[in-house]
Structure 1
Amino acid sequence: MNWTSEEHFVTSFVGMLMNSHHSDNFYVLREVKTSYGRPDVVVIEYDQDKLNDRRRRIPISKNLFTKECAYVMAFLTYRRWVKISNLQKFLNCSHSQIKNVIQILNLHGLILHRDDCIRAKPIRENLVIKRLCTYEAKLFKWKDAIEQAERHLWFTGDSYVLLPEYKQSLLNEVSTECRRRGVGLTLFDLKENNLCINVRSAETGIKNSPFLWIINELFITGEITNDKGIQTGYFSN
């Protein structure tokens, strides 16, 4: 198919995803700002039961979660008890600032207290996100797409380059470079209604990162919907 633009290509791809995804529990976001890179498409799969449980336990009507909160959650997750004074040093912030962060984390129901220490609740209770899959789309500049897809490996193992059908000789070169960089390769042909994963990403699954916790808590407060992107201001290039 002759695509009129990359925008046309990405829009058609997203439309196909919305109509054919294997699960109902997913969101598709476009042009998502992170602290390093801006993926064209992010597919977020989540656990509906956990989402409902978090919302029942913590009825928050407005998202209070800040960038500092996200960094603290990434720091606390998988750790045991951490002294608040050490956490303050980690953030390099004032006593009032760390107090505010802890208050927000309490409101979101994410942490436990013991004397002058805190820890994150078990990740199985806190995290509703199951998978983050990113796509960098290009019609011609596949080397740029690979470089951009590689940037997203800091928060997900599922980072893919999205291309139209290429000639086999060029496809072999692209596939080799994707494998070398650890990113996946997906080919999309709307005319044939075909989505082919030509190369699997070297890793899979989400990674504990501040961006993960930003996304997670936006789900809890209901601020992510399929008809808008994320405009949090927390992570901008």
Structure 2
Amino acid sequence: MFITERQLVETLKGNFKIICDWNIKKTQTNILEEVNLGFGIADLVISKINKHKSIETSWSYFDILIYKIIETDQNVSMDLLKSITKAKESQIRKSLEMLMLECYVNHHDSIFRIKKSYKSISDKTIAIEAKLKNWARALDQAYRYKWFATQSYVVLDSNYISPAYKNIEKFIELNVGLAEINPEGLLKIHFKPTEEKPIDDKMFMLLNEQIKQTLFRQQIISPSI
């Protein structure tokens, strides 16, 4: 039995591999802790990393918003961007300059269009809500993580898994995974969720930007785990 949720999370960090549907010995895998994108704070987000070049530039949520507006319309003026975002022109221009410098956006006759599509650094992201025993609250929080993650899990202390397991149909209905872990690190999955497209593409992109920042700082979980 774990004394604190922090102990549970630390144990899970070293014993998460069966949650992943990729070979972490051969594929670069990144872990972010306490990820807050406005839908609660995910204890862990585990990501499969695609081949990438180290890039220092990181997009803000506003940069992503500007990109998505242009991507959706494909014929966007400055007036339209100001009307939708309600932001100052100087702030919009700052984002546009970055997007044009990185060749994502071009402009002609004061109209902005997408030049190349955003490429995510990870297309497989697993968000985890770790709890000692409050499965109902954990399920509610884990469901919110589906806004930005392709899979979401609740991981509970093995000592308190029984009530959650008795309600496993709720996890199945919401497509949220259920697993238990003990202090020795034994992780057991009771329901493995189907991978889904995140509900909000902007939040998925923002998560990818956080991952990109982490990788640039070389805070990478070794594939040899």
The partner residue of 2:31 within 20, 28, 37 is 28
Does structure 2 conserve the Cα–Cα contact (< 8 Å) formed by 1:132 and 1:205? no
Distance 2:81 2:7 in 1: 46
Distance 2:15 2:72 in 1: 37
Query: Structure 2: which 5+ residue stretches go unaligned?
Result: none
Give the TM-score, by structure 2 length: 0.79
Deviation of the 1:110 alpha carbon: 2.7
What corresponds to 1:233 in structure 2?
none
Distance 2:60 2:204 in 1: 13
Percent of aligned pairs with the same amino acid: 21
Deviation of the 1:32 alpha carbon: 1.2
Distance 1:98 1:176 in 2: 46
What corresponds to 1:235 in structure 2?
none
Give the TM-score, by structure 1 length: 0.75
- What secondary structure, in the 3-state scheme, does the structure 2 residue paired with 1:211 have? helix
| Aligned amino acid, residue 65 of structure 2 | Y
Does structure 1 conserve the Cα–Cα contact (< 8 Å) formed by 2:148 and 2:207? no
Change (3 A) 1:134 1:79: farther
Change (3 A) 1:107 1:215: farther
What corresponds to 2:109 in structure 1?
115
What corresponds to 1:101 in structure 2?
95
In terms of mean alpha carbon deviation, does 133-142 or 168-177 score higher?
Answer: 168-177
- What secondary structure, in the 3-state scheme, does the structure 1 residue paired with 2:41 have? coil
- What secondary structure, in the 3-state scheme, does the structure 1 residue paired with 2:154 have? strand
Change (3 A) 1:126 1:172: closer
The partner residue of 2:42 within 15, 39, 42 is 39
Q: Does 1:160 align with 2:163?
A: no
RMSD: 3.0
Deviation of the 1:142 alpha carbon: 1.0
Change (3 A) 1:25 1:15: same
- What secondary structure, in the 3-state scheme, does the structure 2 residue paired with 1:36 have? coil
Q: How many pairs are equivalent?
A: 215
The partner residue of 2:78 within 55, 77, 84 is 84
| Aligned amino acid, residue 112 of structure 1 | N
Deviation of the 1:166 alpha carbon: 5.4
Distance 2:17 2:166 in 1: 30
Alignment of 1:1-237 (within 5 A): 2-17=1-16, 22-23=23-24, 24-48=27-51, 51-52=52-53, 55=54, 61=56, 63=57, 65-77=59-71, 80-123=74-117, 126-165=119-158, 170-189=163-182, 191=184, 193-201=185-193, 203-218=195-210, 219=212, 222-223=216-217, 225-226=219-220
Change (3 A) 1:120 1:152: farther
- What secondary structure, in the 3-state scheme, does the structure 1 residue paired with 2:92 have? helix
Deviation of the 1:154 alpha carbon: 1.5
